Amino acid sequence: MILRALVTSIGCLVLAACSNNNGAGAGATPEGGTPGNGNDGATASPPLLSVVTSRFPGANAEGVCVDAPLRLSFSSAPTVGNTGKIQIFKASDPTTAVDVIDLSSTLFTDTINGRLFRTTLPVFVDGSDAVIYPHTQALSPNETYFVTIDAGVFLDGAGQPLGSIVDPMAWRFSTGTPAPADPASLVVDREGAGDFCRVQGAVDFLPAANATPVTINVKIGTYHEIVYISRKNNITLHGEDRKNSVITYANNDKLQTADGGAGGTRFRAMVEVENVTGFIIENMTLHNATPLGGSQAEALRVEPGDQVILRNADFLSHQDTLLLTGRVYVTGCYVEGNVDFIWGQGTVYFDHCELKTVARAGYEVQARNGPGIYGYVFVDSKLTADPGITGNRLGRIDSIAYPGSNVAYINCEMGPHILPAGWLVTGAPDAGTVRFWEYQSTDPSGQPLDVSMRIAPSRQLTDEEAAMMRDKATVLGGWNP
């Protein structure tokens, strides 16, 4: 099976191909492990570096982070071909590549924090830059490497090859050893001005079962990553700039299930967070770049987490944007999607957030919480939509499968895209245990909304009930963030 789709998001081009990795990470011996231009018997192509305006790492750079993406800048945007290889060699062993990216492959994988993921082709175009992501942990500390690139890997606007790199002396660099000045405040910078070049690199640096509070400061830049965090506590991901510190990737269920992959919620999210306490994301953007109709594609999955805070951040996808299980507080955030784009088994309090339905009508929430606890509570938030969207619902649930489902909107502004009926309940005829609640909803002008056509079993709360739902500690089981 071959999946090769062109996806555009946040100014980046992603060639998505799922599959078998011809050259995994450290320790692998990929095929095609000798330097060359990949065109046996053909005339040598012009040097690629002659049309490059800058690169990272620079020529003979030292102390480069071991997780560094490689970057080539051109005077105009290149395109990515479908033949040729990008190879990285140790200078001490120039005959066997430590990493190979073969553009003719139909299957790419990477092992991230011990879990095997199917990936897209790890070559991205950001404006006029081509960014190459070696496999996770392909490089080692304190080694000298050189890079070769075959003709046909990068093309100009007319589809002609931009050249090749075949000389082992042309693009060399040496790695260093991670040595953060402050182990409690790690810095991630894509181009080497920090402790790490990838978010995952900083996460991997932390010890197993970490309990010491650590802030991972993500500098301005676009980070094309799947991030997987498991059983490491008290981590804060803090972006330098909410709109310009961006993690983006086109991970989704179709990608992960291609060619027999496992798929499911443990694989398809862009940022995967499991079994953590005290986790915070703030002042940054998470964008799952999966196109419309590309299947379930969470920007963030927390499953489970306790005392998790999402603060002043943006979360973008289409289907299933946020999967939140455990106790989560979300404040000052923007969330966009269209099909159950907030869901899970969590107890989650949304405070002054915007939920925007994009591209097509759908459902704001699918709450799968059990009976006896609260589910997804939205306070002083607003529900918006792209122009022309109608027929959206506040939430939906199968009352047989999830009889304890609870969603509440307290003093929320709702656009005209919300159906007068409000909700959808399927399953048992008597869905009396489902708790779909609402209190003093308004239209965008601040006028009281007509809720007379809301379906049963939804209901309007009393003043006393609404006051109780406003209390964070009440909703979050004693935790008052």
Q: What is the 3-state secondary structure (H, E, C) of 160-178?
A: CECCEECCCCCCEEEECCC
For domain 185-475, say whether CATH 3.55.40.20 is its number. Answer: no
Instruction: Read off the tokens for 68.
Output: 């560094």
4-175 — its CATH code?
Answer: 2.60.40.1220
Nearest-angstrom CA–CA distance, 421 and 432: 17
Q: With a cut of 60, say whether residue 31 has pLDDT above it.
A: no
Instruction: Read off the tokens for 147.
Output: 């890079």
Backbone angles phi, psi at 111, to 5 degrees: -100, 115
Residue of 213, 200, 216, 411 whose CA lies nearest to 307: 213
Nearest-angstrom CA–CA distance, 313 and 322: 12
What's the helix, strand, coil split of the chain in %, to 5? Answer: 5, 40, 50
Instruction: Read off the tokens for 39.
Output: 């065109």
The residue-averaged pLDDT of 394-399 equals 96
Positive or negative torsion for Cα 354, 358, 361, 363 = negative
| Cα–Cα separations (whole angstroms), residue 163 to 40, 46, 81, 159 | 15, 5, 12, 12
What percent of the chain stands above pLDDT 90?
Answer: 88
Nearest-angstrom CA–CA distance, 177 and 31: 28
Q: With a cut of 50, say whether residue 18 has pLDDT above it.
A: no
Contact criterion met (CB below 8 Å) for 374 and 353: no
What residues are paired with 72 via a beta bridge?
A: 55, 130
What residues are paired with 79 via a beta bridge?
A: 155
Q: With a cut of 50, say whether residue 40 has pLDDT above it.
A: no
Q: Regarding predicted confidence, which is higher, 32 or 141?
A: 141
pTM: 0.90
Residue pLDDT, tens place only, 198-229: 999 999 999 999 999 999 999 999 999 999 99
Residue pLDDT, tens place only, 329-342: 999 999 999 999 99
Residue of 344, 366, 341 whose CA lies nearest to 354: 341
User: Where do the DSSP E strands lie in 289-321?
Assistant: 300-311, 314-316
Annotated domain spans of the chain: 4-175, 185-475
Nearest-angstrom CA–CA distance, 288 and 416: 27
- The torsion region of residue 401 among left (phi > 0), alpha (psi -120 to 50) and beta comes to alpha
**Amino acid code (one letter) for 446:** G
Positive or negative torsion for Cα 386, 392, 393, 398 = negative
Nearest-angstrom CA–CA distance, 159 and 169: 28
How many residues are recorded in the chain?
A: 481
Residue pLDDT, tens place only, 279-323: 999 999 999 999 999 999 999 999 999 999 999 999 999 999 999
Nearest-angstrom CA–CA distance, 462 and 376: 18
Positive or negative torsion for Cα 308, 195, 97, 35 = positive
pLDDT for 44 equals 56
SS3 467: helix
Q: Quick one: which H or E segment has residue 423?
A: strand 423-426
- Residue 372 burial by Cβ neighbours in a 10 Å radius (0-12, 13-18, 19+): exposed
**Amino acid code (one letter) for 116:** L
The residue-averaged pLDDT of 412-425 equals 97
Nearest-angstrom CA–CA distance, 390 and 292: 17
**Omega before 387 cis (within 30°)?**
no
Contact criterion met (CB below 8 Å) for 160 and 171: no
**Amino acid code (one letter) for 266:** R
User: Where do the DSSP E strands lie in 75-194?
Assistant: 79-80, 85-90, 93-102, 109-112, 115-118, 123-126, 129-132, 144-149, 154-155, 172-175, 185-188
Contact criterion met (CB below 8 Å) for 327 and 307: yes
pLDDT for 45 equals 65
Helix locations, 106-187, DSSP H: none
Q: How many Cα atoms sit within 13 Å of 281 on the Cβ side?
A: 29
Q: How many Cα atoms sit within 13 Å of 230 on the Cβ side?
A: 7
4-175 and 185-475 agree in CATH topology: no
At 46, is the pLDDT very low, low, confident or very high (cuts 50, 70, 90)? confident
Q: Which of 4-13, 241-250, 268-277 has the lowest mean pLDDT?
A: 4-13
